[in-house]
Homo-oligomer: A and B are copies of this chain.
């Protein structure tokens, strides 16, 4: 049991180190030796857990997908309509892309063509954004806009924040995301709810 726990901790450490090295050097250049030494384990230990660099990248992306899932479900129980839910989740996503190297590296890997990334994380986000906007439409909190059209514009903008934020953290700042929603909400929201919506988000914690 103790042995299993230690193995799990080593695996977690390797995923975090891999994310750090992928984020810094890119998938193609990243070396397994750099990853194992950052995790403080031997090359042999790395290969016990992961067959190769591709398997490590898959695990980083999988860990990022679980984090993204936690971000969007964190607000589900809270009060507020689905449009506010979307605003809040986008703030959390931007905040965690800046803070959490596993989430950030996961998105980078997901859009890395050389590695064969298929933008799975971006599609996961797109699906959730689309569902939230459809729900908002059902709640009657949307103005005369098409949920799908709004979803693609929101996903494009948040993808831009993510990509530009890898070099300039201001793109992922609370004020950048707030300004985006201050611009968009008056166009998206039904007049009856606009006054209640908070563009700078109500954090889940």
Query: What residues make up the interface of A, taking CB atoms closer than 8 Å to B?
Result: 25-26, 28-29, 111-114, 118-119, 122, 145-146, 149-150, 152-153, 155-161, 163-164, 166-168, 171, 176, 179-180, 182-184, 186-187
CB nearest neighbor in B for A181: B153
Residue numbers in B under 8 Å from A114 (CB-CB): 25-26, 28-29
Known: A25-B114, A158-B160, A187-B186. A152 touches B168 (CB 8 A): no
- State whether B183 touches A150 (Cβ < 8 A): yes
Complex alpha-carbon distance, A62 and B22, angstroms: 27
Residue numbers in B under 8 Å from A159 (CB-CB): 156, 159-160, 163-164
Q: A168's contact among B119, B157, B184, by CB below 8 Å, is which?
A: B119
Q: A187's contact among B28, B149, B184, by CB below 8 Å, is which?
A: B184
Complex alpha-carbon distance, A160 and B28, angstroms: 23
A41 to chain B, nearest CB (A): 25
Complex alpha-carbon distance, A145 and B155, angstroms: 22
Determine which residue in A146, A156, A180, A186 has the highest number of CB atoms from chain B within 10 A of its CB, and name it.
A156
